[in-house]
Amino acid sequence: MIEPETTDPTEIDDQRIDLPRLLRLSAMMQSLLVEARDVDLDDDVPARRRLAEVQRRAVDAITSVVPSRMADELRTLSPIAEADGRAPSEGELRLTQSQVTGWLAGLFQAFQVVALEQQLREPTGPPQLAAPETAAPGPYL
């Protein structure tokens, strides 16, 4: 069995993850992915540049709330850069967005697994029922 490195699923390498902010950023990235699906970006260079900028800023925000090891991993998955001065293609933008969203989903699943492992390791027995109070003899009502 693999032992978790920490007892707190939101603490890695002695760095705490700002979970509330990470949840907000994750929801924003998911919404952005859904919204970008509905927009035809092929012929709209300014829209593609703007979406690439929003994605870059979102990745920067996410990397600021996770430990450096995880931030480096995310940066390798999401290279959003304009090569030769051209805006990223629609496919590149959608692929990057999907990668980041998938990475975040995997991160949250890892948190859930660690939390579940912690619960399973806690020495708890079956719930104990309180002993009934002894009633004085006499009529029920």
What is the predicted pLDDT for the residue at 41? 77
Nearest-angstrom CA–CA distance, 59 and 108: 16
Mean pLDDT of 55-59: 87
Cα 99 to Cα 63, 75, 77, 110: the distances in Å are 14, 11, 7, 16
Residue 8 has pLDDT above 80, yes or no: no
In tens, the pLDDT along 78-116 reads: 766 555 667 888 888 888 888 888 888 888 888 888 888
What is the predicted pLDDT for the residue at 35? 80
Q: Percent of the chain, pLDDT > 70?
A: 71
What is the predicted pLDDT for the residue at 130? 62
- Among 139, 29, 138, 3, smallest CA distance to 94 is for 29
What is the predicted pLDDT for the residue at 26? 84
pTM: 0.66
| Residue ranges covered by each domain of the chain | 18-121
